[in-house]
Amino acid sequence: MPERPNGTVSKTVVGVCLPWVQIPPLPPFGLADAGSTYPVTVADAMVSDTDAMRVALQQALHAESHGDVPVGAVVVHDGRVIAEACNEREVRHDPTAHAEVLVLRAAAERLGRWRLDDCTLYVTLEPCSMCAGAIVNSRVGTVVFGAADLKAGAMGSLYNLAADPRLNHEPVVRHGVMAAESSGLLQRFFAEKRAET
């Protein structure tokens, strides 16, 4: 199996186990025997909230491997993952390259339309105001996030753009899915950054 620079396995593997956080492996969905180690992607099967968030967590690990804040996102359409992304601000030298913005662009391109009202966005951290604006403007039907962001969250913590009646769209928002795993990645990342200085 291909290894990433930081020792995590590639995103095509269904589970990642790290010393600081456990991301349980996904079930094989009948695509491989229960005892098989054959890599199965979530895009091959219908997914639950937890399954989709596991893929987002794998994307978050990828962001961390290139020095970005570990945030990952996926878009699900008709029960299948159609787009995956992670923060790429450091890689692209682009302040707007948040996981949510990148995954919304990829989903819109994949579907051939900008309206994503029949899609669900899963993201490991509560979207900021920029990302919440992109979510509202792309008409995402549902947003599911893991960890709350008390300093910059714009879907309930600091602001709530998803429930502002003055805007032309109000997505359904669910939170707390795999919140401990999501916040664990972020806490470890920032603890290491503080230790470096």
**Cβ–Cβ < 8 Å for 138, 168:** no
- Is-catalytic flag, 181? no
The DSSP bridge partners found for residue 173 are 143
Q: How far apart, in whole angstroms, are the C-alpha atoms of residue 126 and residue 177?
A: 11
Largest CA-CA distance found in the chain, in angstroms, rounded: 52
Retrieve residue 42's tokens. 């979530």
> What torsion, rounded to 10 degrees, do the Cα atoms 141, 127, 178, 10 define?
100
Query: Of the residues 100, 109, 126, 196, which is catalytic?
Result: 100
Is residue 107 within 8 Å of residue 100, measured between CB atoms?
A: no
| Phi, psi for 67 (deg, rounded to 5) | 85, 5
Q: Are 144 and 175 in contact (CB under 8 A)?
A: yes
Catalytic residue IDs? 100
